[in-house]
Amino acid sequence: MKEKLLKLMPEFGEVEDADLREKTTAVWLEAMREAGWTFDDLAKMPFTLLIADTPVNLVEHTLAVTRCALKIADELVRAYRGRVAVNRDVLLSGALLHDVGKMFEYAKKGERFVKSASGELLRHPVSGAAFAYKHGLPEEVVHVIAAHSKEGDGLRRTAEAVIVNHADFVNFDVLK
C-alpha cells in the first residue's frame, strides 16, 4: 500500500528527514485504513463538497496545493535572499496532510460523497490535526494542518502555515 501511495503521490518521498517522511506517509495510509477508504475511492472523492460536481479529486488537489506551496516557498526564499525562513520538510508534510481530515469528514452515500456524522461535528482541519498529533507528527506540522483554513484565522500562523493557507485558497478559488 505504501508503494502505491508513493507512486500516486511521489512528493511524500521529497520529505528529507526520514522520520518525518515515514510519519507523514503513515498518517495518510492510517487515515485511509481507519476511515475505510481505498485508492479507488480517493480517485472519486471530491476535494470539496462546496463546489457542486467538482472535477478535482482529493489527491489532485493535495498535490496541486503541495506543488504551489513549494513554488511559493522557493520564490520567497530566493526573492528575499534568505530573510524569509521556510522549513521545507514542515511545509511538505503540512501541505501533503492539510486535508487528511477529509477522510473522516466525508462519507459515501450510494455514489455520492456527503458529510459524515464526524464531519458534522469536526471540520477536517481539526480532525486532521488531531490525527496527525496522535501519530506523533511535530507540532509545527500539526499547526499547518490546523491553521490552513478558516479555523486558523485567529492564530499567528508560521511561514509554512501562511504558505499552505494561501496555496489552498488559490486552488479552491480558481475552481469555484
Q: What digits encode the pLDDT tens for the residues 115-143?
A: 999 999 999 999 999 999 999 999 999 99
Facing residues of 106 across strands?
115
Question: Containing domain of residue 73, as a range?
Answer: 2-173
> Is residue 104 predicted with pLDDT exceeding 90?
yes
CA–CA dist 19, 62 (Å, integer): 21
How many independent structural domains does the chain possess?
Answer: 1
What integer is the mean pLDDT of 32-40? 97
SS (H, E, C) 113-170: EEECHHHHHCCHHHHHHHHHHHCCCCHHHHHHHHHCCHHHCCCCCCHHHHHHHHHHHH
pLDDT digits 0-9 by tens, 54-84:
999 999 999 999 999 999 999 999 999 989 9
- Sole residue written with cell 479507488: 40
Tell me the CATH number at 74: 1.10.3210
Is pLDDT of 42 > 90? Answer: yes
Band of the pLDDT at 152, cuts 50, 70, 90? confident
DSSP category for residue 112: E
Residue 4: CB atoms within 10 Å? 10
Tell me: pLDDT of 92 over 90.
yes
**Residue 143 pLDDT:** 98
How far does Cα 166 stand from its chain's mean position? 13
Q: In this structure, how many other beta carbons lie within 10 angstroms of the beta carbon of residue 175?
A: 15
Q: Which residue has the cell 491553521?
A: 147
Which of the pair, 52 or 140, is modelled with greater confidence?
140
State the average pLDDT over residues 34-59: 96
What pLDDT score does 117 carry? 97
